[in-house]
Structure 1
């Protein structure tokens, strides 16, 4: 290409494939390319750029997070990474939070594919783990904060993935497990929506990968209160629950309902010869180095999913008899147990750890992102959970570290979460805010960091809203968070000074009752008029809201 006598050159590149969906590749790529070019044929660079900025701001500008700044806050990102341990730099966490939102906007939009291990930033022909969807935590982590970060529409590709993978999941349920109802999905899939177990047994046999994905359907409903969305996706929830109602068996020792076979993702017990699963038909145990029955994470995920299923039937006012069946099974699931070393057991039997610092700590799903373990509801499990976190340590791969940040935030320890954040930034990031797993860049850590920061500043999973539940000492001076979404479909705008909330404004998007934890009785105004508040105990205060009502809490 030769260009002469020009003072500006604009080069536009377009591309397309023949891919329509996982079952249809009949599209005409050349026609698609022609259509793209036609749509911008007579448009100037300035006009295209202006549209891009307008569209970007419409999503990105929904949320603003300000944390205290220091001298380090104004250095280039690569220098901030190198100096993260040399002094306080709270606003670096705010940058990480917004980076997570930025890459969500860039890699997951309605009509596109869900964000995978490398998102759209993979630059290898043969990438690590094929740049697929790993669903024993990584894909889920990508979407932990999509609703709270006020980017709900960006979750649509995830729900498309779940719907599509359930198709082959029905075949796998029948052919692999002999279950003729519902669907099952394991630990890995790709654009072709494979659902069968694959690769090594200690990760491939993860039967609750689809169940974990289904919890995102309920969480999205909690953040949006979109009944039409719940009704549309109800069959996915029900189908996965139906599979497990047929798949679960009674363990021969206690009579608990357990998954069988089962695995605790990617970890192996310390005595492999004792790891076993129960063959119900033959009435015998079989040894396997990774396979077991009733792993703790399986039972926790199903406890959540069965509970969500029951609540969904109540919201939609359907399937009353099915709800009773589900709750009966939920009550029979294996309970969590404490091992002889004082840690929460990872397996149904008290096996030791082969690798005490293993990057996965799947049995802590119940604390985060799950809702099975809670300092308020299950205080007896908190010390065993902390002992697991101490055993695993603050290190490991990028996604593992930010998951630990989320766990410590749920335990209200912001200083520990902040300490892990600094280690993650210095050891798992290089010149950018993308984290690593081994030597591979992955996007999950960047999304997980966003979730962890959000959890340190706002929590709403206990049925009420708590502000600054895990605020690190370094972040206390002053800050603000606007546009963040909580369960109940509330949009918050609040500020704090010296660790105490100074102003709070709320938009009620669905007209749900608003419950918040405060250390004193607040005053609530709507359009200048005082709103009646009810004290419900334990520092909780509640008031009724109207849809799209604006409230100021003093």
Structure 2
């Protein structure tokens, strides 16, 4: 449950993250000059504005015409003119620096991140004095708290100041530091070449956000002020409290005119926090955090073998051979989820809540063609629906802003979103009105994919009130967009046009192109939203006429095609891929995270999808590796799955720019490279998918257990149907399992081990189906136990 190191962090990807969903910090654990790099969830460039391209609709017929004439390269060039503005950037807040005089020579250094308590700690000795620092980010009190101690009287001496990469000024007064700053009106993305990448407005008239950050010190020593620096002298202990706020008041509200003052928010936080002792603050933090973190456990036999070796050395020396590291990375994902995504906060970005750059990789935004969704694949499985809510709320906001984009760009009802978004709920295709590339930007399926999260939340909770009042209205509007977006081809099939397979080109007549008709992922996503919408209509007993219309169109969607290699085609025709081992596996959406393609329902297409995955290979970026892991779990190919785990556990190059190597950084952050948090979350989803599956309307224990993990247990995992499941296995076989019913649903379990079912030592009446499924009724709040028949 700990990440441990015997040296300070030298790079950002060695520092240790703490967070409460609102505030984040990277703790370096340096000795003489400690650095704590801080973030605030709403600190973004820009402001609300219309980012649509009002010329797009006029260009659409010409793009479709060129596709029909098989002028794919020309269609791609023309489609550039349908793009809108770029998204804005998630920004770094400030750095806190602490300087400790005469600490150059130290010994017995230890740095750790305690996942059980959500605390980052640093300790060391200098001249016979033992120094400690402990930091945590409290959700209940909205602060980052740090306690510094020395075990000898009057031995703690340090100075503290702040800085920011954004425009700012700092004041030091009594025992407080105050940093006030201004966000830029625009930050161009890292991949866009411009002479003015960061644009600030007039300080008096700017529409961009302002922000404040404050440090408050309590100490038994002497606290003095010198310029913009605070000094603590001859102390035994010191408590540093930190918080920050912006004047953000909603995605559709101008921050400069909203009337919200960051200082008022901070005053309120400190008015309450400074009245509490450090033990009380820590207790409130710990109680809140552990209520979430302790819901799930995961233990592997042999996991303690290397637990006393520093984490970075374990990555370098053992990788996936270290079962404790496999276990630790799983718990780390749960920790990161709680730290970066809480109820009432913004959802986790490409980097969670942690970012050090003004021009972060890909603007540290929300990338909707896989990455943002992958961040939340495990949230319900983790038994953390509260953490999922921030993303579900975000989707509701996107549905509101996406209506305008659907109307302006495509003259469609409903709502749409494309592959990038930001805090302002950007839904237009990005590309600076013609400078971007359709291969990644012209993809109006982002909103369609996002609706699966609304549907999954219902499947895990079985909350019909949520389905009726929140999920269904958004599902319906996404389905309406698809009804209007599809067109009928000459063979009577409904297709999308123009259509791209995210970020992947095809080769035709020796030329590279990206725009065609009916890319496989488009059709899979539309089938998915149609199916889920009709299921919701059936459950709620509403919109029968619309249900008939959707069912008619779904029955005539352009069907899956099989290519010349026996693989599931990625596009409507059997084009040659630019990269057969491309990182995206978008055309396999119907296998995972969807469930349209299964061995039982679509055996031939399921086998073709498997051939596609083999063709993609075992390389890729961090998130790509774990998507393939989840897919191999669905194919119940545990050896292939573990090969992806092994690849993920390779040490990443801390100095690498963007490439395809993947791996883990020393602080266990997943490497794209650079860092993207989706790899961490997707890994945990993949681990659970190996151990339990519920996507086929029944629960399957240990469907894809790797041979390298012969013994272990997992408890408290949520599955579809409103159940919590625990499993224990030995010698690669399940020896017992339990199921808690939170909804009282009828339960279906795959009976491949001839299971017997009991509840409170009473045999449960079950029904056996010819397909090997065991069924029985459950009562709310009752636990059921499974054991193989002897």
Structure 1-normalised TM-score?
0.94
The equivalences for 1:336-415 within 5 A come to 336-415=560-639
Output the CA distance in 2 between the equivalents of 1:56 and 1:140.
24
Output the CA distance in 2 between the equivalents of 1:338 and 1:139.
29
Once the two structures are TM-superposed, the CA of residue 176 in structure 1 deviates from its matched residue by 0.8
Task: Work out whether residues 73 and 89 of structure 1, in 8 Å CA contact, stay in contact via their aligned partners in 2.
Answer: no
Structure number, greater radius of gyration = 2
Secondary structure at the aligned position of 2:372 is classed as helix
- In structure 1, the partner of 2:250 is 21
Question: CA 1:377 to 1:91, structure 2 compared with 1: closer, same or farther past 3 Å?
Answer: farther
Output the CA distance in 2 between the equivalents of 1:538 and 1:74.
48
- In structure 2, the partner of 1:241 is 479
Output the CA distance in 1 between the equivalents of 2:645 and 2:621.
12
- In structure 2, the partner of 1:284 is none
Kindly indicate whether residue 748 of structure 2 is the aligned counterpart of residue 515 of structure 1: yes
- In structure 2, the partner of 1:285 is none
- In structure 1, the partner of 2:679 is 445
Task: Work out whether residues 466 and 516 of structure 1, in 8 Å CA contact, stay in contact via their aligned partners in 2.
Answer: yes
The RMSD of aligned alpha carbons is 1.5
Kindly indicate whether residue 422 of structure 2 is the aligned counterpart of residue 190 of structure 1: yes
Task: Work out whether residues 306 and 324 of structure 2, in 8 Å CA contact, stay in contact via their aligned partners in 1.
Answer: no
Higher strand share: 2
The equivalences for 1:306-317 within 5 A come to 306-317=530-541
Output the CA distance in 1 between the equivalents of 2:700 and 2:509.
43
Secondary structure at the aligned position of 2:244 is classed as coil
Question: CA 1:139 to 1:467, structure 2 compared with 1: closer, same or farther past 3 Å?
Answer: same
- In structure 2, the partner of 1:278 is none
Once the two structures are TM-superposed, the CA of residue 14 in structure 1 deviates from its matched residue by 1.4
Post-superposition Cα deviations, 1:279-312, rounded to whole Å, max 9, x if no partner, equal: xxxxxxxxxx211111000000111110000000
Greater mean deviation of Cα atoms: 312-321 or 75-84: 75-84
Once the two structures are TM-superposed, the CA of residue 408 in structure 1 deviates from its matched residue by 0.5
Output the CA distance in 1 between the equivalents of 2:541 and 2:449.
24
Kindly indicate whether residue 734 of structure 2 is the aligned counterpart of residue 501 of structure 1: yes
Output the CA distance in 2 between the equivalents of 1:531 and 1:74.
45
Output the CA distance in 1 between the equivalents of 2:456 and 2:521.
18
* Residue from 541, 546, 560 that aligns with 1:322: 546
Once the two structures are TM-superposed, the CA of residue 273 in structure 1 deviates from its matched residue by 7.2
Once the two structures are TM-superposed, the CA of residue 521 in structure 1 deviates from its matched residue by 3.6
Unaligned runs of 5+ in 1: 276-288
Task: Work out whether residues 722 and 742 of structure 2, in 8 Å CA contact, stay in contact via their aligned partners in 1.
Answer: yes
Output the CA distance in 1 between the equivalents of 2:509 and 2:615.
20
Output the CA distance in 1 between the equivalents of 2:469 and 2:263.
34
Output the CA distance in 1 between the equivalents of 2:468 and 2:439.
35
Question: CA 1:399 to 1:30, structure 2 compared with 1: closer, same or farther past 3 Å?
Answer: same
Output the CA distance in 2 between the equivalents of 1:319 and 1:372.
23
Once the two structures are TM-superposed, the CA of residue 73 in structure 1 deviates from its matched residue by 4.9
- In structure 2, the partner of 1:335 is 559
Output the CA distance in 2 between the equivalents of 1:274 and 1:225.
50
* Residue from 696, 705, 710 that aligns with 1:471: 705
Post-superposition Cα deviations, 1:136-186, rounded to whole Å, max 9, x if no partner, equal: 00000001110011001111111111111122211111111112x211111
- In structure 1, the partner of 2:453 is 216
Task: Work out whether residues 507 and 577 of structure 2, in 8 Å CA contact, stay in contact via their aligned partners in 1.
Answer: yes
- In structure 2, the partner of 1:9 is 238
Task: Work out whether residues 84 and 422 of structure 1, in 8 Å CA contact, stay in contact via their aligned partners in 2.
Answer: no
- In structure 1, the partner of 2:22 is none
Unaligned runs of 5+ in 2: 1-229, 432-436, 653-662
Structure 2-normalised TM-score?
0.66
- In structure 2, the partner of 1:423 is 647
Output the CA distance in 1 between the equivalents of 2:608 and 2:757.
40
Question: CA 1:549 to 1:206, structure 2 compared with 1: closer, same or farther past 3 Å?
Answer: same
Post-superposition Cα deviations, 1:196-240, rounded to whole Å, max 9, x if no partner, equal: 111220111111110000011111111111111111221111011
* Residue from 107, 113, 118 that aligns with 2:351: 118
Post-superposition Cα deviations, 1:72-129, rounded to whole Å, max 9, x if no partner, equal: 45432212211235x7323322222111111110111111001110111111111011
* Residue from 304, 315, 324 that aligns with 1:91: 324
Once the two structures are TM-superposed, the CA of residue 487 in structure 1 deviates from its matched residue by 0.4
Secondary structure at the aligned position of 1:9 is classed as strand
Task: Work out whether residues 260 and 294 of structure 1, in 8 Å CA contact, stay in contact via their aligned partners in 2.
Answer: yes
Secondary structure at the aligned position of 1:3 is classed as strand
Output the CA distance in 2 between the equivalents of 1:84 and 1:206.
41
Task: Work out whether residues 489 and 508 of structure 1, in 8 Å CA contact, stay in contact via their aligned partners in 2.
Answer: yes
Task: Work out whether residues 515 and 540 of structure 1, in 8 Å CA contact, stay in contact via their aligned partners in 2.
Answer: yes
Output the CA distance in 2 between the equivalents of 1:461 and 1:501.
20
Task: Work out whether residues 521 and 541 of structure 1, in 8 Å CA contact, stay in contact via their aligned partners in 2.
Answer: no
Output the CA distance in 2 between the equivalents of 1:382 and 1:433.
34
- In structure 1, the partner of 2:312 is 78
Post-superposition Cα deviations, 1:399-422, rounded to whole Å, max 9, x if no partner, equal: 000111011110111121111111
* Residue from 315, 322, 340 that aligns with 1:107: 340
Query: How many residues matched?
Result: 536
The equivalences for 1:246-261 within 5 A come to 246-252=484-490, 254-261=491-498
- In structure 2, the partner of 1:232 is 469
Question: CA 1:272 to 1:47, structure 2 compared with 1: closer, same or farther past 3 Å?
Answer: farther
Secondary structure at the aligned position of 2:242 is classed as coil
Post-superposition Cα deviations, 1:295-353, rounded to whole Å, max 9, x if no partner, equal: 00000011111000000011111111111111111111111110112111000111011
Question: CA 1:119 to 1:272, structure 2 compared with 1: closer, same or farther past 3 Å?
Answer: farther
Output the CA distance in 1 between the equivalents of 2:482 and 2:751.
41
Secondary structure at the aligned position of 1:523 is classed as strand
